[in-house]
Amino acid sequence: MASFFDESRVDSDDALAALDSHQTLRGLATSGAQVREAVSLAEEAGIERVAGGERPRSVLVASLGGSAVVCDVLELLAEPGSPVPVSVRRNVPLPGWVGPLDLVVAVSLSGRAPGPLALAAEAARRGAALLTVGAVESPLAEVTARARGVHIGIGRGRTTSRTALWSLLAPVLLGVGHLGLVDVDARVLAQTADRLDELAETCRPSSESFVNPAKVLAADLAEGVPVVLGDGPLNGVAAGRAASMLARTARVPATSGELPDDAAQIVACFDGPFTAAYSGGQPSPAGARSTDDIFADPFLDGPAAPRLSLLMLRDVLPDPMTREADEARHLAEAVTTAAREAGVRVSEVTAQAGHPLTRLAGQMATTDYAATYLALGLGLDPAVSPHVADLRDRAGG
């Protein structure tokens, strides 16, 4: 796959303009502005009225597709200290236990996604409190208005959930933060917006390939079939987002996992046919160092098989160091060492210090830019997939 990646494309203003028909890079660069606008829109919509200002018995959040990461982030941030359970439902039916004492959060950029819309409508019928985020003039907004819930618009110019993530996520976090379910307020969101602005500057198109971390990562990912691994829960969410963006934006099949649970299944792949350690059904012993055949002739021997690559997302080390963080560090290093010994290309992205949301935002932004540059370097429009359009036509929209 590497032979198809052309670094000159990602450094050319003309090439980027020709390929990026929906200005995906520009959309990603507005992430910080999205956070600030979302806070303003949420306050104008009366975010303090969510659930009547009272702590609900439980929270259920629904989002699909490119918006699904909203569920993942809310679960991540609520798990350590939320006094009430937070659960996720991607689609109908609404669980039978949801009733007037509960809060249902439904997210859809268009306000028309069947799953979140149906869940919100059923929650309203049962008398549950509603917090919804999406287009202002939409069925989702109408359902919420009838239920006297809180609906927050997504602002203008938001055309895809992949580049409008923070218009969807920030209001949800602000709402549940008001209820004391997550440690997120306007101050944390302002810090997150600043971090996103920093990444937009660092990963800007005019920054050349040899100094732009997202372009460097894109070129690395072009060398193989990526597995994205997070070193813990926070980077597990970032890994899931990265795998989704690589597949949907760059059209590169990618899987994701989280340490420690997924260590064994990832390392087992280092024995397989997509690594240099594989030898025709006779895998090399564990720890054996393998290299490519420098004398291989692609014309006589055929093209080289796709190779596995590992993208390891790592968190900043706490100060002072904790036992859990030290164990996570050792496990991550063991996995990357095993990968390199098996001939797997390894890339690493390490978070910067800050609030968990701010660290997560930086990790997701870096891989979002990388996936977009990978698409552009491969000569693909990151926003338009003919096969996805064809699937929609075949499935009736």
Burial 176-214 (b: 16+ CB within 10 A, else e): bbbbebbbbebebbebbbebbbebbebbebeeebeebeb
Whether 369 and 205 have beta carbons less than 8 Å apart is answered as no
Find, among 300, 251, 296, the residue nearest to 276 by Cα: 296
Is pLDDT of 293 > 80? no
Mean pLDDT value across residues 39-53: 95
Q: Please state the domain extents for the chain.
A: 2-22+207-386, 26-194
Binned at pLDDT 50, 70 and 90, residue 212 comes out as: very high
Mean pLDDT value across residues 99-114: 96
Q: What percent of the chain stands above pLDDT 90?
A: 79
Q: Concatenated DSSP letters for 314-378? A: EPPPPSSPPHHHHHHHHHHHHHHHHHHHTT-EEEEEEPPSS-HHHHHHHHHHHHHHHHHHHHHHT
CATH of domain 26-194: 3.40.50.10490
Find, among 200, 226, 234, the residue nearest to 328 by Cα: 234
Binned at pLDDT 50, 70 and 90, residue 297 comes out as: low
Binned at pLDDT 50, 70 and 90, residue 1 comes out as: very low
Q: What percent of the chain stands above pLDDT 70?
A: 92
Mean pLDDT of the residues in the chain: 91
Give 343-365 pLDDT, tens digit per residue.
999 999 999 999 999 999 999 99
Whether 378 and 222 have beta carbons less than 8 Å apart is answered as yes
Query: What pTM did the predictor assign?
Result: 0.92
Binned at pLDDT 50, 70 and 90, residue 141 comes out as: very high
Phi, psi of 254 (to 5 degrees): -145, 145
Q: Quote the pLDDT of residue 155.
A: 84
Binned at pLDDT 50, 70 and 90, residue 290 comes out as: very low
DSSP state of 109: S
Helix ranges (DSSP H) in the chain: 7-10, 13-19, 24-29, 31-44, 69-78, 114-125, 139-146, 165-178, 186-202, 213-221, 233-248, 263-268, 298-301, 323-341, 356-377, 386-394
Q: Quote the pLDDT of residue 196.
A: 98
Tokens of 364: 């997701």
Find, among 312, 374, 306, the residue nearest to 340 by Cα: 312
Which of the two residues, 395 and 342, has the higher pLDDT score?
342
Which residues does 326 contact at the CB level (< 8 Å), separation at least 6?
none
Find, among 364, 344, 332, the residue nearest to 242 by Cα: 364
Pick the CATH number of 2-22+207-386 from 3.30.2290.10, 3.40.50.10490, 1.10.150.120, 3.30.450.20: 3.40.50.10490
Q: Do domains 2-22+207-386 and 26-194 have the same CATH topology?
A: yes
Which of the two residues, 23 and 296, has the higher pLDDT score?
23
Burial 128-147 (b: 16+ CB within 10 A, else e): bbbbbbbbeebbbbebbeeb
Angle at alpha carbon of residue 180, lines to 179 and 185, rounded to 5°? 90
Give 223-269 pLDDT, tens digit per residue.
889 999 999 999 999 999 999 999 999 999 999 999 999 999 999 99
Mean pLDDT value across residues 65-79: 91
Which residues does 230 contact at the CB level (< 8 Å), separation at least 6?
236, 237, 238, 239, 256, 257, 258, 259, 313
The dihedral through the CA atoms of 397, 376, 12, 165 has a sign that is positive
